[in-house]
């Protein structure tokens, strides 16, 4: 079944590659890893390479109950929102605030602020006066967006581990499809936290250096932070969410099904909804975490669903794995690629040592400078996000010509 397209009218993005569409696009295509830095502040056992957002806003705009929104996560989100403020204002003027919704994918919210507050309470016998328990609520980022722009439509946060950002875009499209909204601010955000890094370290999943996805030498992930937000409407623009596939195979709490069947189903459902076949796909942004189990599963799933000829890359060696924000940020990368001239075929490079893991299927990994397929040859791109608990999400974004 082919769904109507849901148009992604504007994008704001903030990650280790920089702040803003133009900066991020240039750094992405250049394979810039300068935002990936060793940091001793998170791991109990030493330093880890993390993807840190540069140039965060110093302060949030003045808001009612502003104390509960004073988190790093919301500062990151604010950096992305600044790019789409005019588009949100136009949607409010056109549809009314009660017809504009918010769906944000997130997993960390204000957890780091809570950890630091607890440490202060242990040391001093009381929590700091500026700490609010509401900072840690998973709904805090979506509440922040609704409050900031005085939006009155449905507002909620999706927390589905590392597929959350992709799930948020699908959830926003459903709000449009069911007539509950005429516009939705959709996206994802997560900030670096000690809890997250030490949790992944307890699973022996943190790489000692830069991640090396799909390599025989891969040994774990880098964690990053960031945000991406779109304004999604039924109003025509050049880039649209054409389809999505969401599955839950529930194979294991923190390991993917090695057969990749849930991932294969997610890709196929998304392509069927979009009305695409393999020949329409110009590029796949892989989940590509650099862990042994994920990369082996994903390479098998992509090979079975799409074959071995479609250009693919993991962009996580440039951003880190941004957890609940990853699906939105990586969909943002597709938006940036699809927004270019149709003759511009440059794609994000796959940064690794070039030594394919023996347990990985050979795919068409993009090397720096490789020409991609022109958008006359293929008009759509896929982003994969796979999460703990067997949650799988694939998105198909494409160019949409005016009918």
Q: Could you list the active site residues?
A: 162, 287, 321
**Among 224, 187, 240, CA closest to 81:** 187
Six-digit token string for 61:
């705009």
User: How far, in Å, CA of 359 to CA of 297, rounded?
Assistant: 9
User: How far, in Å, CA of 99 to CA of 112, rounded?
Assistant: 33
Other CB atoms within 10 Å distance of the CB of residue 365 = 21
Task: For the chain, give the secondary structure using H, E and C.
Answer: CCCCCEEEEEEEEEECCEECHHHHHHHHHHCCCCCEEEECCCCCCCCEEEECCCCCCCCCCCCCCHHHHCCHHHHHHHHHHCCCHHHHHHHHHHHCHHHEEEEEECCCCCHHHHHHHHHHHHHHCCCCCCCCHHHHCCCHHHHHHHHHHCCCCCEEEECECECHHHHHHHHHHHHHHCCCCCEEEEEEEECCCHHHHHHHHHCCCECCCCCCCCECCCCCECEECEEEEEEEECCCCCEEEEEEEEEECCCCCCCCCCCCHHHHHHHHHHHHHHCCCHHHEEEEECCCCCCHHHHHHHHHHHHHHHCCCCEEECCHHHHCECHHHHHHHHHHHHHHHHCCCCCCCECCCCCCCCCECCCCCCCEECCCCCECCCCCCCCEEEEEEEEHHHEEEEEEEEECCCC
The answer to whether the CB of 174 falls within 8 A of the CB of 235 is no
């Amino acid at each position: 079944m082919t769904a109507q397209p849901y148009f992604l009218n504007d994008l704001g993005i903030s990650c280790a590659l920089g702040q803003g569409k133009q900066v991020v696009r240039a750094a992405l295509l250049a394979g810039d890893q300068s935002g990936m830095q060793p940091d001793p502040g998170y791991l109990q056992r030493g330093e880890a390479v993390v993807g840190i957002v540069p140039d965060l806003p110093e302060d949030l705009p003045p808001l009612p109950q502003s104390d509960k929104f004073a988190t790093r996560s919301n500062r990151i989100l604010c950096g992305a929102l600044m790019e789409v403020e005019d588009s949100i204002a136009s949607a409010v003027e056109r549809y009314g605030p009660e017809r504009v919704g918010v769906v944000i994918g997130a997993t960390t919210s204000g957890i780091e602020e809570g950890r630091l507050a607890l440490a202060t309470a242990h040391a001093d016998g009381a929590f700091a006066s500026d700490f609010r328990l509401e900072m840690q609520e998973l709904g805090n980022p979506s509440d922040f967006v609704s409050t900031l722009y005085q939006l009155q439509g449905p507002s909620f946060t999706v927390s589905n581990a590392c597929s959350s950002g992709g799930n948020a875009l699908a959830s926003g499209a459903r709000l449009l499809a069911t007539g509950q909204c005429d516009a939705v601010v959709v996206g994802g955000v997560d900030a670096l936290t000690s809890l997250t890094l030490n949790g992944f370290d307890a699973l022996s999943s943190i790489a000692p250096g830069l991640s090396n996805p799909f390599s025989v030498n891969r040994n774990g992930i880098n964690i990053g932070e960031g945000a991406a937000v779109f304004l999604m409407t039924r109003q025509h623009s050049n880039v649209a969410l054409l389809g999505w596939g969401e599955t839950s195979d529930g194979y294991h709490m923190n390991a993917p099904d090695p057969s990749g069947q849930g991932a294969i189903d997610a890709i196929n459902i998304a392509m069927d909804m979009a009305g695409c076949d393999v020949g329409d796909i110009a590029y796949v942004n892989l989940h590509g975490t650099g862990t042994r189990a994920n990369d082996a599963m994903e390479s098998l799933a992509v090979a079975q669903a799409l074959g071995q000829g479609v250009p693919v890359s993991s962009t996580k060696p440039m951003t880190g794995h941004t957890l609940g924000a990853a699906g939105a940020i990586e969909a943002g990368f597709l938006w940036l690629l699809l927004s270019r001239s149709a003759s511009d075929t440059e794609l994000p490079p796959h940064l690794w040592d070039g030594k394919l893991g023996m347990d990985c299927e050979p795919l068409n990994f993009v090397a720096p400078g490789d020409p991609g397929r022109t958008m006359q040859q293929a008009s759509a791109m896929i982003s994969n996000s796979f999460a703990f608990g067997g949650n799988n999400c694939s998105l198909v974004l494409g160019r949409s010509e005016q009918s």
